[in-house]
Amino acid sequence: IFFSFLFLSGCSVIKGFIDRPTPEAIPGSVLFSDDFSTNQNDWKTWNQDNAYVNIEGGGLYFLINESEYDYWSKPGFNFENVVIQADAIKVGGPDDNSYGVLCRMVDEANFYAFIISSDGYAGILRVKEGTYELLNNNSMEFFPEIIQGDAVNQITASCNDTFLSLAINGKIVLQEQDDNFNSGDIGFIAGTFSEPGVEILFDNLVVLQP
């Protein structure tokens, strides 16, 4: 799997700005959580020809029917240092995909993404002024910790000062440093490469203060 920087487009699946207070940052405390039993936290739902995002099946469900494209959704917070943990389930579609969590999302063109694929690859991605760049390598790297195929993987992303780390199913696989973004929203992202039809379900989201 190779990450396409030239052809991967982005389409936001976000709500408008929410005047939502950021919880008090106490070390180890839960800043935000969601089991997606309802849409009480106002995640944006989406329904169009090439993408469908909705709260259903006990999670936040993404269906992307366009190749070389990604979509994201966020709840409207502004966090600095966070640890984000969630379960991600490949429901259907090609294993050559990408999905994961976002942190420090300043806007649609500036954020960090911690992504994996259903064929066993992972990367830490920085999107700055709309330009996609993997921080860990020129392409996503293979890790046996990722359960391939139609499976559940637990993704844990840490954004702590300039340190960024990605853990899969409880094991840290990537660590990088970057100082471009200091704060922003959290969220989810899912995308396609050459083959459309990616279906991902996110559940059991917990956002912690490091």
Q: Please check the confidence at residue 154 and state whether its pLDDT lies above 60.
A: yes
What pLDDT, on a 0 to 100 scale, did the predictor assign at position 40?
Answer: 82
pLDDT of residue 118: 98
Q: What amino acid is encoded at 151 in this protein? A: A
pLDDT at 19: 46
**CA pair distance 140, 104, nearest whole angstrom:** 21
Nearest-CA neighbor of 4 among 153, 123, 148, 159?
A: 123
Count of residues making up the chain = 210
Tokens representing 41 are 């936290």
Rg (CA), the chain: 15
| Lowest mean pLDDT across 23-32, 104-113, 147-156 | 23-32
pLDDT digit string (tens) for 97-121?
999 999 999 999 999 999 999 999 9
**Distance separating alpha carbons of residues 81 and 29, to the nearest angstrom:** 12
Distance of CA 172 to the CA centre of its chain: 16
Predicted pLDDT of residue 11:
43
Residue 16 pLDDT > 60: no
Q: What is the pLDDT of residues 55-113, one digit of tens each?
A: 999 999 999 999 999 999 999 999 999 999 999 999 999 999 999 999 999 999 999 99
The mean pLDDT value for 125-136 works out to: 97
d(CA 126, CA 106): 12
- What is the amino acid identity at position 168? I
